[in-house]
Chain A
Amino acid sequence: MGGASVIAVDGSTVGEVLLQLTTTYPAIKGQLLNDDGTLHRFLNVYVNDDDVRYLGGVEARIVNDDEITLLPAVAGGAW
């Protein structure tokens, strides 16, 4: 994102953080959220180590110093 791989963003939910990101980097808007505010199908979002889809999705609460990782969905298959 603009060459940065780690950035600090404010917000109390995952959705707020992603919205804040799209304000700062408008080019990635369609890459993160669907028009209805849900997560893009091929985007995995982790709060610390946990996938937020299993923690309430964009409503998942975050606290100070939580680390959010954005990763595209990839095919494994060697397991």
Chain B
Amino acid sequence: MTRYASVLDLVGNTPVVDVSVLSPKANVTILAKLEGRNPAGSVKDRVALSLVEAAEREGRLIPGKPDQTLIEPSSGNTGIALALVCRLRDYHLKVVLPTNVSPERRQLLLAFGAEIIDSPGAEGSNGAVRLAQRLSEENPEWVFLYQYANPANPLAHYTTTGPEILADVPEVTHFVAGLGTSGTLMGVGRFLKERRPDVQIWAVEPPSGEMVDGLRSLEDGYVPPIFTDNDGEHLLDRKVIVRARESIEWTRRLTEVGLFVGLSSGAAVAGAVKCAATIPDGEAATIVTIIADDGWKYLSTGAWSDDVEDVVERAKSIIYF
């Protein structure tokens, strides 16, 4: 086994596994890149490390200087990944977290020493973003990395995730991933399009449940600046919505291939299956999709054990994505 000097050296270089047994077309290969293998458990480890290292390069954070505070809105994985990086770098992290995330996320943040600032659950991720923006304006001494607008977010995927995919799967024809901050899709999408212009980039829009009910009007809507900055509308070839029921059903089906993954990964694979279904018979295709995290943080949702109707109903009031 390789020996590593730091846990942070374990970020990235994740494995890809063939899950084509789930493909609706015999001629279409589906490959899943397992980001749950990252040390803090999700694809966001790449982003957190990239955000902090960029801030250190720019002098916004100074390694070794005491009493430096960061603030970030997150519905889970970015906060957890940042908490790990900040613990190792000795920065204090405040995470603005909607009250209705799964309890495992809250506990993981506390485990790595982050401070949690609650934002209204009914306002979802948009509400957390707004509160973090306000708090950072009121406390200019805090460092606000703002994953939704920071070019270091897609850069992490442009410099690591994208090259790994092309090295491991040079025959890739389609890339399918969930659309959150859009960092994965913008970074990997741009990297692949520059080298393989024919590769199709598909975004999967997660079900938004209660977040939609929390919006007073469309003016509370939100498009991440990194999506706009990277001309996301032209970079993406297609965007499909995956409903809560499909996400849960595909999360369960992934256990058939031995994968115990988070609900957003069920949604991503559901999107990959929709993509596969569009490939004409007899035409070969290779779809790469991202398994953003493993299932551990979602056990309290009962996603694998409870009646699917109950889980779908619960999904409307808890942010799983």
Contact = CB atoms under 8 A, between A and B. Distances in A.
Q: Do A and B bind each other?
A: yes
A74 B240 contact: no
A74 B181 contact: no
A78 B148 CA distance: 11
A55 B125 CA distance: 27
A45 B219 CA distance: 16
B221 A42 contact: yes
B237 A75 contact: no
Contact of B321 (A69, A72, A76): A76
Contact of A79 (B129, B184, B219): B184
Nearest to B211: A74
Contacts of A53: 233, 239
A72 B220 contact: yes
* A49, A51, A73, A77 interface centre (most CB from chain B within 10 Å): A77
A42 B224 CA distance: 11
Nearest to A44: B205
Contacts of B212: 71-72, 74
Nearest to B209: A74
* A50, A51, A54, A74 interface centre (most CB from chain B within 10 Å): A74
Interface stretch (B58-66, B75-83, B135-143): B75-83
Contact of B180 (A44, A49, A76): A76
A75 B44 CA distance: 15
A54 B236 contact: yes
B215 interface: yes
Contact of A41 (B78, B211, B221, B321): B221
A42 B212 CA distance: 12
B180 to A, nearest CB: 3
Interface string A41-71: 1111010011101100000000000000101
A7 B209 CA distance: 20
Nearest to B243: A49
A23 interface: no
A77 B147 CA distance: 8
A49 B242 contact: yes
B223 interface: yes
Nearest to B125: A75
A78 B74 contact: yes
Contact of A72 (B215, B233, B264): B215
A10 B74 CA distance: 41
21 contacts: A41-B221, A41-B223, A42-B218, A42-B223, A44-B241, A49-B274, A50-B239, A51-B241, A72-B218, A72-B221, A74-B125, A74-B208, A75-B129, A75-B222, A77-B73, A78-B74, A78-B125, A79-B43, A79-B180, A79-B184, A79-B290
| Top 5 closest pairs, chain A to chain B, by CB | A42-B221, A76-B180, A51-B239, A79-B180, A78-B75
Given A71-B208, A75-B222, 17 more contacts: A46-B241, A49-B240, A51-B239, A51-B241, A54-B236, A72-B220, A72-B221, A73-B222, A73-B223, A74-B125, A74-B211, A75-B124, A75-B129, A76-B178, A76-B181, A77-B73, A78-B319
Interface of A: 31, 40-44, 46, 49-51, 53-54, 69, 71-79
